[in-house]
Amino acid sequence: MSDFLLELRSEEIPARMQAGARGELEKLFRREMDAAGVECGEITVWSTPRRLALIARGLPEVTKAVSEELKGPPVGAPDQALEGFCRKAGVEKGDLETRDVKGRATYFAVKNIPGRATKDLLAEAIPAIIRDFSWPKSMRWGAASISTESLRWVRPLSGIVALLGDDVVECEVHGVTSGSVTLGHRFHHSGDITIGNADDYAMKLRAGHVIVDHEERQDLIRSGAAKVASEAGLTLIEDEGLVIENAGLTEWPVPLLGRFEEDFLEVPPETIQLTARVNQKYFVCEDAQGELANAFICTANIEAEDGGARVVDGNRKVLAARLSDARFFWDVDRKKTLAEHAKGLERITFHEKLGTVADKVDRVAKLADWLVFDAKAPNGDHNLARQAAKLSKADLVTEMVGEFPELQGLMGGYYAKAESLPAEVAAAIRDHYKPVGANDEVPTAPTTVAVSLADKLDNLLSFFKIDILPTGSKDPFALRRAALGYLRLVQANDLRLSLDEVAHAWASKPMPNLAEKLADFLLDRLAVQLRDEGVRHDYVQASRSWQGRPDQRIDRVEGRARALAAFLGTEDGANLLAGYKRAANILKKEDWHGAEGEIARTGEEDPLALVDDPDMKAVIDAKMNERHARELSYTPEPAEKALMDALATSEPAAAQAIEAEDFSGAMAALASLRAPIDRFFDEVTVNADEENKRAHRLELLAAFRAAVHKVADFSRIEG
């Protein structure tokens, strides 16, 4: 058994690609070993900006011998076929064996592939790994690139160390030859480093000022940054993304703390933090009061001779220039009011078919106004909502947001505050994009809720109107996110919005088709959202209809689906579902639609909803009379009578609860049917010989089914 070390040295690998590259290296190495039947034990992969390394422990010296059998043509087949087979299998005719296959003599080629030296296998595997390696972006370089067939790598590949045990695995890839020699830190170590084997690799590199284990560098940065912060009496604002990125930019990380002029703290802290992080990859700190401090922490790649004083001073100047820009933007932007900035939105296209951003803002303002006006988003102020909506996108044309698009909303909020607009307006501008991520907080301030809802609804309605919907993984206008944002706003604020009315208010005329499209889309997103919480998809399906149409109130579907999930999780619920399925199966088998069934063939419509229709009423009355006539024709058995009585109480109770949108109450009403339906199936024969009994009992099951359907469409429930 030997340990194998592979190091692929190159010019600086982008930090963001290193994690993926480690995974790719391990995957390709395993692929090569699997193909040769070599079992890999523990594999370690490391990366620095200048190298990828892999160590595989405990490889065998020799691979296992493998025997391979190929079935050929039957004996007596034409010579041509036989020769073709031999050629393909790479065996001589005389070496073929004959075996019986289902009574027929058949040629077989048996190939015994002896074990190979693992070293030879690796010598072939390394070039294959390098050639097949997939980078997000790769390039050609050097004299060989006169042909486009030359090797591609993320940046020029300059060296390969390949050692099995203490021996070099000799190979060559496009002019790069393997060996045992590598390089240390670019500035702290000159000359070659000769590696002995996998065991001394990390140690020798460390002596050459390279910490090859990326996790160790990450730890050093994490703890080092925290340490220099606390030495300065500050607290590091943790940023794991920066830790990883800086570890990907350094082989010998040295966190250093510097100070910037306190005057810069007058610009919003978020802009300072963003400038420091995005442009310069610096950490920032806060003071004892939790306020942003005038300090930054950069991660140098050297242990400078002067302890880093020059490095810190250089970085301070760069940051100062960046912060001057930020302060310049902050000052310039505040010379105009947000209302003045908002005029610039007339020049920005929102979407070629949907007009400018100014047009969008008008639509959002109108809808926000309606949401408040109609108290859909209660307690909001009419004027504030309209004002906030009108100004909500104004910061898009400010210098600061032009430079840092991530600050949209936030900057608008600051500028609103700076020009002394009402606090509600500033908050609504600031927060109207929320919630963005799954963990983002959901607005609850009434004005903010109105603007935020209106913004999301306008995105959805506008794009749906021009038939742009997300497809597969493509969602360029982030409509799924808008939908999820809508759902979470509705949930957090307990809103009861009807999408019919929303679409009507948005378009100033009824838009039933658009509303249904929106409802369908939102319900799909709801199903996804609830599934993550453990509420099954089919429970949402069973709760989707309301009075014969897709329910226009998403909150109601949710309430119902949740109550259904809770109910079906109880013993009563599970048994009732079983009883329902049994009843439904019998009715299906007997092709019995029942009094309601003849009207409600699709199972979607609620017959009671049609009672207003005078024609329908006559039909229902006739059916009801017929049913009553049947009921009276014999004395029901006790279990039958019990079910009839239970239905007589439960059905109106359930219907009433549903009407009041008390879904737990409706489920409770159904629960009281569970014992009677179980008893009915235990004691009563549905398919009685007497036709009147049979008809009545089927009718009773149909009534049971109808009662259940009033609460939810149990036919949609799986399993």
Partner 1 sequence: MDRNPQKSFQDMILALHDFWSAHGCLILQPYDMRMGAGTFHTATTLRALGPEPWNAAFVQPCRRPTDGRYGENPNRLQHYYQYQVILKPSPPDIQDLYLESLRVIGIDPLKHDIRFVEDDWESPTLGAWGLGWEVWCDGMEVTQFTYFQQMGGFDCKPVAGELTYGLERLAMYIQGVDNVYDLDFNGQGVSYGDVFLENEKQMSKWNFEVAETDALFDLFNKAEAECKNALAHNVPIAAYEQAVEASHIFNLLQARGVISVQERASYMGRVRDLARGSCEAHMEKEAPVWAEKYPEWSK
Choice between 318 and 375, CB closer to partner 1: 318
Interatomic CA distance for residues 596 and 179, integer angstroms: 84
Q: Which of 12, 83, 95, 613 binds partner 1 (CB under 8 A)?
A: 12
327 binds partner 1 (CB under 8 A): no
Residue 471: phi and psi, rounded to 5, are -125, 130
Measured CA distances, 576 to 314, 582, 661 (Å): 75, 10, 21
653 binds partner 1 (CB under 8 A): no
Q: Which of 80, 112, 147, 508 binds partner 1 (CB under 8 A)?
A: 147
Measured CA distances, 290 to 235, 272, 298, 528 (Å): 8, 15, 21, 38
184 binds partner 1 (CB under 8 A): no
249 binds partner 1 (CB under 8 A): yes
317 binds partner 1 (CB under 8 A): yes
632 binds partner 1 (CB under 8 A): no
Q: Which helix (H) or strand (E) holds 273?
A: helix 269-274
Query: Mask 513-552, x = binds partner 1 (CB under 8 A)?
Result: ----------------------------------------
Interatomic CA distance for residues 561 and 543, integer angstroms: 6
Q: How far is the CB of 269 from partner 1 (least distance, A)?
A: 20
Judge whether 385 and 450 are in contact, CB under 8 Å.
Answer: yes
Determine the interface stretch with partner 1 among 9-17, 223-231, 410-418, 588-596 (rule: CB under 8 A).
Answer: 9-17
Determine the interface stretch with partner 1 among 114-122, 147-155, 634-642, 644-652 (rule: CB under 8 A).
Answer: 147-155
Q: Which helix (H) or strand (E) holds 122?
A: helix 118-132
Q: For residue 470, what are its two tokens?
A: 């997300």
405 binds partner 1 (CB under 8 A): no
209 binds partner 1 (CB under 8 A): no
347 binds partner 1 (CB under 8 A): yes
105 binds partner 1 (CB under 8 A): no
Determine the interface stretch with partner 1 among 299-307, 490-498, 504-512, 663-671 (rule: CB under 8 A).
Answer: 299-307
Choice between 324 and 687, CB closer to partner 1: 324
Q: Which of 332, 348, 375, 629 binds partner 1 (CB under 8 A)?
A: 348
Q: Which of 64, 259, 310, 601 binds partner 1 (CB under 8 A)?
A: 310
Q: How far is the CB of 142 from partner 1 (least distance, A)?
A: 5
Choice between 148 and 439, CB closer to partner 1: 148
Interatomic CA distance for residues 363 and 360, integer angstroms: 5
Judge whether 131 and 174 are in contact, CB under 8 Å.
Answer: no
142 binds partner 1 (CB under 8 A): yes
CA 276 to chain centre: 28
Interatomic CA distance for residues 699 and 594, integer angstroms: 6
A 10 A CB-CB count for 209 gives 17
For the purposes of burial, counting CB atoms within 10 Å of the CB of 347, is it exposed (0-12), middle (13-18) or buried (19 or more)? exposed
191 binds partner 1 (CB under 8 A): no
634 binds partner 1 (CB under 8 A): no
Judge whether 281 and 318 are in contact, CB under 8 Å.
Answer: no
* Cβ neighbours for 268, distance < 8 A, ≥ 6 positions apart: 330, 410, 411, 414
349 binds partner 1 (CB under 8 A): yes
Q: For residue 138, what are its two tokens?
A: 């790769």
Beta-strand pair 349-351/355-356? antiparallel
Q: Which of 110, 304, 478, 668 binds partner 1 (CB under 8 A)?
A: 304
332 binds partner 1 (CB under 8 A): no
First to last CA, the chain: 53
Where are the strands (E) in 366-482, listed by range? none
Q: What would the DSSP string read from start to end of 634-667?
A: SPPPHHHHHHHHHHHHHHHHHHHHHHTT-HHHHH
Choice between 12 and 374, CB closer to partner 1: 12
Determine the interface stretch with partner 1 among 139-147, 228-236, 394-402, 551-559 (rule: CB under 8 A).
Answer: 139-147
Measured CA distances, 554 to 333, 353, 509, 527 (Å): 41, 28, 21, 11
Q: Which of 92, 306, 533, 615 binds partner 1 (CB under 8 A)?
A: 306
Interatomic CA distance for residues 613 and 383, integer angstroms: 43
Stretch 35-74 residues interacting with partner 1 (CB under 8 A): 49
221 binds partner 1 (CB under 8 A): no
Interatomic CA distance for residues 341 and 13, integer angstroms: 42
- Binding-residue total with partner 1 (CB under 8 A): 48
Q: How far is the CB of 81 from partner 1 (least distance, A)?
A: 43
179 binds partner 1 (CB under 8 A): no
Determine the interface stretch with partner 1 among 138-146, 369-377, 381-389, 483-491 (rule: CB under 8 A).
Answer: 138-146
Choice between 154 and 454, CB closer to partner 1: 154
Determine the interface stretch with partner 1 among 93-101, 150-158, 437-445, 539-547 (rule: CB under 8 A).
Answer: 150-158
Closest CA to 458 of 433, 441, 438, 476: 433
140 binds partner 1 (CB under 8 A): yes
Q: How many CA atoms within 13 Å lie on the side-chain side of 144?
A: 14
Choice between 239 and 369, CB closer to partner 1: 239
187 binds partner 1 (CB under 8 A): yes
Q: 435 preceded by cis ω (within 30°)?
A: yes
496 binds partner 1 (CB under 8 A): no
Q: Which of 101, 105, 139, 207 binds partner 1 (CB under 8 A)?
A: 139
DSSP-based helix, strand, coil % in the chain, nearest 5: 55, 15, 30
359 binds partner 1 (CB under 8 A): no
CA dihedral angle for residue 337, residue 340, residue 341, residue 345, rounded to 10 degrees? 150
321 binds partner 1 (CB under 8 A): yes
Choice between 248 and 597, CB closer to partner 1: 248
Q: How far is the CB of 145 from partner 1 (least distance, A)?
A: 4
402 binds partner 1 (CB under 8 A): no
Stretch 261-280 residues interacting with partner 1 (CB under 8 A): 280
Judge whether 237 and 276 are in contact, CB under 8 Å.
Answer: no
Q: How far is the CB of 22 from partner 1 (least distance, A)?
A: 17
Q: Which residues of this chain interact with partner 1, rule CB under 8 A?
A: 11-12, 14-16, 49, 137-148, 154-156, 158, 186-188, 249-250, 280, 282, 298, 300-302, 304-306, 310-311, 313-315, 317-319, 321, 347-349
